[in-house]
Amino acid sequence: MSVRLAIVVPCYNEEEVLPETTKRLLALLDRMAQQGLVSEGTGVYYVDDGSRDRTWSLIESLSRQDPRIHGLKLSRNRGHQAALMAGLMTVEGDALVSIDADLQDDVNVIEAMVREFIAGHEVVYGVRDSRATDTAFKRNTALAYYGLLRRMGVDLVHNHADFRLMGRRAIEALREYGEVNLFLRGVVPLIGYKATTVKYDRAERFAGVSKYPLRKMLAFALEGITSFSIVPLRLITMVGLLISVLSFAMIVFILYGTLVMKAVIPGWASSVVPIYFLGGIQLLSLGIIGEYVSKIYMETKRRPRYFIETQV
Ligand code: UDP
Ligand code: MG
């Protein structure tokens, strides 16, 4: 059996890496074609996520040089997840692989993914064996974050980002998830079907700088929690309940002090401290509820996730 494979690569200002990425992906496709793993119509699909540099003209010229190279140009920058979704929803093929443009994920692992697909797996997750090349900060925050998500009941594949193969059935299932706020690595495990993992070593970015500054990363992290877990809301209820019980005990204690013991309480600390404390808790709670309300707001608008401007 040979597979019509499509490799979907989101690109945002990636002119420095695209020639090398193309070289490596085409070499891989050549090798897989020789082994009879991939069939006619197999190709690479770059999704230009509104780049400001020469990325799109580069994709156009690459596609002229090799018929296996294709490109989708989004109407503007919509972010990594939306760009990925645009590719996955548009491109045809028996199996679709998503991979970053910067060669941090080992392209040669795609061959193992295709073999797993042929063996009957509908989803194959690329899992990082070591993150030695990431900074200690990124490694540790990621570890803490994914631990937190798991404790909130979000089903995630450990050490997996967005490097994965999905079969046609999984892609069609993904189409049914209409959420505007996208956290693909949380959605895909919900689909089910037979899945497996393949391991690889994560390399350093081939060239250029990360398109995920801390600000974008924090927004994405919050997205992951509020899209998949209502635990934070439940936590507010618990804290509120606890504070109510404690305050009630305090009232009893104060009444006992004034009425029975006739002790004069100076009272400043005991009245001012709870005001600050409760004020803080209330603001925090409002903030968390606000996060979810804003999510509902955005989802009810049913805004389109992306527009494709041109295709080559
Ligand atoms: N990317 C994108 N749109 C964006 C930001 C990033 O399509 O708004 C792409 C980028 O070109 C790359 C992938 O998403 O192919 C991952 O980005 P990056 O490597 O910069 O993130 P990091 O690996 O540092 O988390
Ligand atoms: Mg990267």
CA torsion 100-101-106-107 (nearest 10°) is 110
Does ligand 1 come within 6 angstroms of the Cβ of 228? no
CA of 104 to the centre of ligand 2 (A): 6
Mean pLDDT check: name the lowest of 44-48, 97-101, 168-172, 301-305.
Answer: 301-305
Mutate to test the pocket of ligand 1, among 106, 182, 212, 216 (most ligand atoms within 8 A of CB): 212
CA of 175 to the centre of ligand 1 (A): 22
Segment 22-44 mean pLDDT = 93
Beta bridge partners, 69, equal 44
Query: CA 209: distance to chain centroid?
Result: 19
Cα separation, 33 vs 53, in Å, equals 33
Examine the pLDDT at 17 and tell me if it is beyond 70.
Answer: yes
Beta bridge partners, 124, equal 165, 196
Percentage, residues of the chain above pLDDT 90 = 44
Task: Give me the helix-helix angle, 231-255 and 268-301, nearest 10°.
Answer: 160
Mutate to test the pocket of ligand 1, among 80, 97, 107, 209 (most ligand atoms within 8 A of CB): 80
What confidence tier does 75 reach under pLDDT thresholds 50, 70, 90? very high
CA of 199 to the centre of ligand 1 (A): 21
Cα separation, 182 vs 192, in Å, equals 18
Does ligand 1 come within 6 angstroms of the Cβ of 56? no
Q: What share of the chain is helix, strand, coil (3-state, %, to 5)?
A: 50, 15, 35
Segment 131-153 mean pLDDT = 81
Examine the pLDDT at 11 and tell me if it is beyond 90.
Answer: yes
Segment 180-204 mean pLDDT = 86
Segment 10-20 mean pLDDT = 94
Examine the pLDDT at 131 and tell me if it is beyond 70.
Answer: no
The pair of structure tokens assigned to 145 is 């974050």
Contact indicator for 185, 177 with CB cutoff of 8 Å = no
pLDDT averaged over every residue in the chain: 87
